[in-house]
């Protein structure tokens, strides 16, 4: 039986900051050689992840107006409930374990109490289904000469459904998210991302028109 210490631990989220660059690419776009990036000495084998995320908001869209998103995502190493908060320095993410399987009807998806409590500064229940985003992801670890993670590159094939309008869309995009061995200073990070932009442009890609999959799902390309 779960005791109070266990419940307290479950209520406290894991916290992280995502610093990333997103790109729109066509189906035929070829992945560049990421060892051309500053500090990257090797690229790991592709790791396939099948991701399924369900996003919620209030009927009035309180979370969206505050630059906040909440989702339940299965698949991949970070499966769970996530709150994402957009800030100038990147996206702050708070994460909790998955918990029970969702109901077949996404309108009945229960939000765990710790997540509801964390969302209280922006919005209160009820939360309704906003979008479902499924993603066939191939992830690659970009490592330095010592094997430390400089960045993770992911090649995403996305299928998204706007639950409110009943519309669907699909697209391909890339993300480059900095890791622990990435430059810690702003100048170094800017140089790394500038090099990435050049590689993607040479391959035929372009900076993403939307800063999130949810945003694109709800507004279109």
What pLDDT, on the 0 to 100 scale, is given for residue 107? 56
Mean pLDDT of 138-142: 98
- Which DSSP category does 99 fall into? -
The CATH number of the domain holding residue 200 is 2.40.320.10
What is the rounded CA–CA span in Å between residue 174 and residue 153? 7
Q: Give the pTM.
A: 0.90
For residue 194, the enclosing domain spans 4-219
Give the span between the Cα atoms of 10 and 176, in whole angstroms.
Answer: 30
The 10s digit of each residue's pLDDT in 73-110 is 999 999 999 999 999 989 999 999 987 666 555 556 78
Give residue-wise pLDDT tens across range 43-63: 999 999 999 999 999 999 999
- As a whole number, mean pLDDT of residues 103-119 equals 79
Question: With 60 as the cut, is the pLDDT of residue 144 above it?
Answer: yes
Mean pLDDT over the full length of the chain: 92
pLDDT at 5: 35
pLDDT digits (tens, 9 = 90+) for 165-186: 999 999 999 999 999 999 999 9
Over residues 29-56, the mean pLDDT reads 98
Question: Is pLDDT at 9 greater than 50 in this prediction?
Answer: no
d(CA 35, CA 43): 7
Nearest to 82 by CA among 105, 104, 114, 107: 114
Report phi then psi at 68, rounded to 5.
-125, 140
What is the DSSP code string of 84-122? EEEETTEEEEEEE---SPPPSSGGG-PPPHHHHHHHTTT
φ, ψ for residue 95 (rounded to 5)?
A: -130, 140
Q: Supply φ then ψ for residue 203, to 5 degrees.
A: -80, -10
CA angle, 167 as apex, 31 and 217 as ends, to 5°? 45
Q: How many domains does the chain divide into?
A: 1
Residues 6+ apart with CB under 8 A from 185: none
């Amino acid at each position: 039986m779960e005791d109070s210490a266990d419940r307290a631990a479950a209520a406290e989220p894991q916290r992280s900051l995502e610093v990333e660059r997103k790109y729109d690419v066509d189906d035929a776009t070829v992945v560049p050689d990421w060892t051309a990036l500053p500090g990257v000495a090797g690229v790991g084998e592709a790791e396939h992840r099948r991701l399924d995320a369900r996003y919620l908001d209030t009927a009035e869209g309180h979370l969206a107006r505050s630059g906040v998103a909440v989702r339940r995502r299965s698949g991949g190493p970070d499966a769970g409930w996530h709150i994402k908060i957009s800030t100038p320095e990147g996206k702050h993410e708070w994460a909790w374990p998955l918990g029970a399987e969702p109901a077949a009807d996404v309108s009945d998806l229960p939000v765990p109490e710790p997540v509801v409590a964390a969302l209280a500064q922006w919005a209160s229940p009820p939360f309704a289904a906003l979008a479902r985003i499924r993603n066939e992801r191939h992830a690659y670890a970009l490592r330095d000469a010592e094997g430390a993670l400089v960045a993770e590159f992911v090649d995403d094939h996305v299928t998204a459904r706007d639950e409110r309008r009943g519309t669907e869309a699909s697209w391909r995009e890339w993300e480059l998210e900095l890791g622990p061995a990435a430059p810690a200073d702003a100048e170094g990070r800017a140089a790394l991302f500038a090099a990435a932009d050049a590689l993607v442009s040479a391959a035929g890609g372009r900076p993403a028109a939307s800063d999130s999959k949810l945003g694109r799902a709800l507004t279109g390309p």
